[in-house]
Amino acid sequence: MKEGKSMKILVTGAAGFIGYHTSILLLERGDTVIGLDNFNDYYDVSLKEARAARLDKYDNFSMVRIDLADRGAIEALFAQEKFDKVVNLAAQAGVRYSIENPHSYIDSNIVGFLHILEGCRHNNVKHLVYASSSSVYGANSAMPFSIHQNVDHPLALYGATKKANELMAHTYSNLYGLPTTGLRFFTVYGPFGRPDMALFMFTKNIIEGKPIDVFNYGKHRRDFTYVDDIVQGVVRTMDHTAEPNADWDAAHPDPGTSKVPYRIYNIGNQQPVELMDYIGAIESVLGKTAEKNLLPLQAGDVPDTWADTSDLANDVGYQPSTPVETGVRNFVEWYLEYYKHEVQAGA
């Protein structure tokens, strides 16, 4: 559990969706948070600035605007601040974008992650928690997805970079005894969410009376997970420093643990939802029916995701509690308030 004294924690991607909410939880409980973000224009920068402005109201928060790929700046930051723990949530996100812009994924997700590992190694960081993704499961079809399955068949470069992060973390856990924990996120949603995610795009188009694109003819199932549940899991995991698995057997290697201080967890809702039901929840809150463009499965996408979170529940007591109907309502209410001038103008 949480250590007796407050800690100094680096949260990368702090102006991003999950990073923002994680920072809030840490700040509220009294930790000192240094947020890092490069404020890139992958999506509307004003939304990142709005998150950052809310974080800046906390006396125990400060933001540094640098890029993970800037080796010198990262080295200097680690040397100056001497973080107790690091939560690395910065990454170039998006499966489809990785098909069009592969180089940005290598810069952020591979080169940037190496700089984080090196910073932790040289500055006695007690625990590195980092974002992986359900995308690592790729062509796996056994449901629910388990951390004890092999994940060697990614379907897009995004998933491959996240798998690479897990491999890189393991080597640092092995060579330098750095405790590392990777969290495979499953379709996170909620207030201040990313504009490139389905919930945001669906809500916007339904409000504006525009059709929504529904891929795989609406036959997707996704383990939609509300952001408050996610960040509780992130912080509990950060407080539960990875340890070696004494029962790990090299003859029958378990992919989710190791003989070194390394862990992988799924973090999801463990209740996959049909995409059409998800859209129905949005329609219900808005009181409007969506016009749907039914389209085939997109390149790099998987039909279904479903997280087996039993290991995370057993180790840190993770227990998501937000029904999709509640989470969607919370998001739509936030959206209507945050974009009220645009909504009113279009009414």
| Residue positions annotated with a catalytic role | 158
Tokens of 78: 């680690």
Q: Which residues partner with 264 through β-bridges?
A: 182
Tokens of 252: 């029958």
The three-point CA angle 328-330-335 to 5° equals 95
Local structure of 262: helix, strand or coil = strand
Phi, psi angles (nearest 5°) of residue 224: -60, 130
Q: Which residues partner with 86 through β-bridges?
A: 10, 128
Task: Single out the residue of 141, 138, 115 nearest to residue 128, CA to CA.
Answer: 115
**Helices (DSSP H) in 268-309: which residue ranges?**
275-286
Local structure of 329: helix, strand or coil = helix
**Residues with Cβ within 8 Å of residue 169, at least 6 apart in sequence:** 117, 128, 130, 180, 182, 262
DSSP state of 135: G
Tokens of 50: 């709005």
The helix/strand count (H/E) of the chain reads as 13, 13
